[in-house]
A = this chain, B = another copy of it.
Amino acid sequence: MNAPTFRSWQSVQDEVLRRIHAREWSPGELIPNEADLAVEFGCARSTVNRALRSLAENGLLDRKRKAGTRVAAQPVAKATLDIAVLRHEVEEHGGKYGYQLIARDVVVPPLSVSGAMKTMADEKLLHVRALHLADDEAYAIEDRWINTRIVPAVSAETFQSVSANEWLMKHAPYTHGEIAFSAVQASVDDAEIMGVAENSALFAIDRLTWDSEVSVTKVKLLFSPGYQLRTGL
């Protein structure tokens, strides 16, 4: 038999995907090594490597040195979410973006906040609360703590017209962070600001970002009822 040749790493990837999908290689099964596949596909090993590495990054293959490559037993679906600046998120959906500052103080945060941010218990942080709107309707409440020691320039910013959400993206770099999604009931306060029933179910995003070993900012975003965060698989 004279197998067709696969000249691009994309076509190699497609063929591998097809075999996984067609169960020619079933979950958990060891697949031929790169060198053999290269011969079979009529291309260089590096081309095969490129294709398989990409699939491994997407969680469809498990690779280990010497142990070889096997089809992921349970393809942990990896959903990649793009967390954009709220203004862009609204505008991309064709909505009119609005912003309103609710409060801005420099205060000693509750222990839960200083604990998570690993700041001194008595150290003051900048606390900003704001409302983001889409087409003049409440879109999300932003409740944020900012480490002024790390981002000193923040002291000069009033956040009257530019949201902390957007300002920090531009002015406060971070090395890594954690993000959590959950559902919470609207507090009396939140419900009033958003104009929704108390105890409404709100989608919440909690984010905590770090610059090396120091926390930069901790934010909770509460989205209006009906909000959905979606992506492809």
Contact = CB atoms under 8 A, between A and B. Distances in A.
Interface of A: 20-21, 23, 27, 59, 74-85, 88, 169-170, 173-185, 199-204, 207, 209, 223, 225-233
Nearest to A74: B169
26 contacts: A20-B173, A21-B175, A27-B170, A74-B84, A77-B179, A78-B81, A79-B81, A79-B179, A174-B233, A176-B232, A178-B233, A179-B231, A179-B233, A180-B228, A181-B203, A181-B230, A182-B183, A182-B229, A183-B202, A183-B203, A183-B204, A183-B225, A185-B200, A185-B201, A199-B201, A201-B201
Within the oligomer, what is the number of copies of this chain? 2
Q: Is the interface of A mostly helix, strand, loop or mixed?
A: strand
Contacts of A204: 183
Given A74-B84, A227-B182, A233 B203 contact: no
Contacts of A202: 183, 201
Contacts of A85: 74
Given A170-B74, A175-B21, A201-B202, A229 B83 contact: no
Contacts of A181: 181, 203, 228-230
Contacts of A209: 233
